[in-house]
Amino acid sequence: MITVEGVSHRLGERRALDRVTVSFAEHRVGVIGANGSGKSTFARLLNGLIVPDSGRVTVDGLSTARDGREIRRKVGFVFTDPDAQIVMPTVAEDVAFGLRRSGLPRAEIARRVTEVLARFGLAGFGDRPAHLLSGGEKQLLALCSVLVTEPATVVCDEPTTLLDLRNARLIGQLLVGLPQRLVLVTHDLVMLADFDRVLVFDDGRLVADGVPAVAAAHYRELMR
């Protein structure tokens, strides 16, 4: 269970979130809203990348303010721009980076890296320079680097925005097929059609919360 209780947060002089309260345990949760509505700030709260100015966020009873390291073992985060999270020179090294403090033997780390790369279409890419991959390949790498740590929840902040249509569809299909709980921030309403629940943000507030069709209709009305 992820719980957000009375959370407000400012980014500089701008109010990013205003007294947001919501809890969810569903398998697939979408988050939508206009640019600047607060949805990306909300996403970053869920694994402690941002700590709220007021209120609290908990994951399975753990506080993001106090238990950040444990939270990030439970909740992985995929950024819009994969270059923001690629930190090592080669593909295999970048995927293995998330396991550096796991205490696992080298052979087990290598096995996990090989397995996750093969699972997401990057078999044979291990020795390639990470920053020379295509945009779609980089986003696959970013996803692999998160999933190799086996989090229970994956939060994705507009992961298809910078991709062409073919790669956007590929990443979208992979995401909705994940066994982990998925929290997806997106502008792609079609991708959310079969989700369990969709949250709508506007001006820092949670203004709608329901099944995809109802939430999307509310969002379209806001955009009129």
Residue 162 has pLDDT above 90, yes or no: no
* Amino acid occupying residue 54: S
In this predicted structure, what is the pLDDT of residue 98?
86
Mean pLDDT over 195-217 rounds to 97
Other C-beta atoms closer than 10 Å to the C-beta of 11 total 13
In this predicted structure, what is the pLDDT of residue 187?
92
Q: What percent of the chain has pLDDT over 90?
A: 83
Tell me the pLDDT band of 223, cut-offs 50, 70 and 90: confident
What are the structure tokens assigned to 188, written together? 């792609």
Q: How far is CA 135 from CA 42, 84, 141, 158, 192, in A?
A: 25, 12, 10, 14, 23
In this predicted structure, what is the pLDDT of residue 13?
86
What residues does 8 pair with on adjacent strands? 54
Give per-residue burial for 25-46: e unless 16+ CB within 10 Å, then b: eeebbbbbbeeebbbbbbbbbb
Helix (H) or strand (E) segment spanning residue 23: strand 14-24
In this predicted structure, what is the pLDDT of residue 34?
94
In this predicted structure, what is the pLDDT of residue 62?
96
In this predicted structure, what is the pLDDT of residue 103?
81
Give per-residue burial for 155-173: e unless 16+ CB within 10 Å, then b: bbbbbbebbeeebbebbbe
Residue 44 has pLDDT above 90, yes or no: yes
In this predicted structure, what is the pLDDT of residue 185?
96
Q: What is the pTM of this model?
A: 0.92
In this predicted structure, what is the pLDDT of residue 217?
95
Other C-beta atoms closer than 10 Å to the C-beta of 65 total 13
Instruction: Give phi and psi for 98, each to the nearest 5.
Output: -70, -15
Q: What is the DSSP letter of 130?
A: G
* Amino acid occupying residue 96: A
Q: Residues 96-126: pLDDT tens digits?
A: 998 987 888 999 999 999 999 999 889 999 9
Mean pLDDT over 73-102 rounds to 92
CATH number of 2-223: 3.40.50.300
Residue 41 has pLDDT above 90, yes or no: yes
Q: Tell me which residue of 69, 71, 98 sits closest to 86, measured CA to CA.
A: 98
In this predicted structure, what is the pLDDT of residue 139?
92
Tell me the pLDDT band of 140, cut-offs 50, 70 and 90: very high
In this predicted structure, what is the pLDDT of residue 95?
95
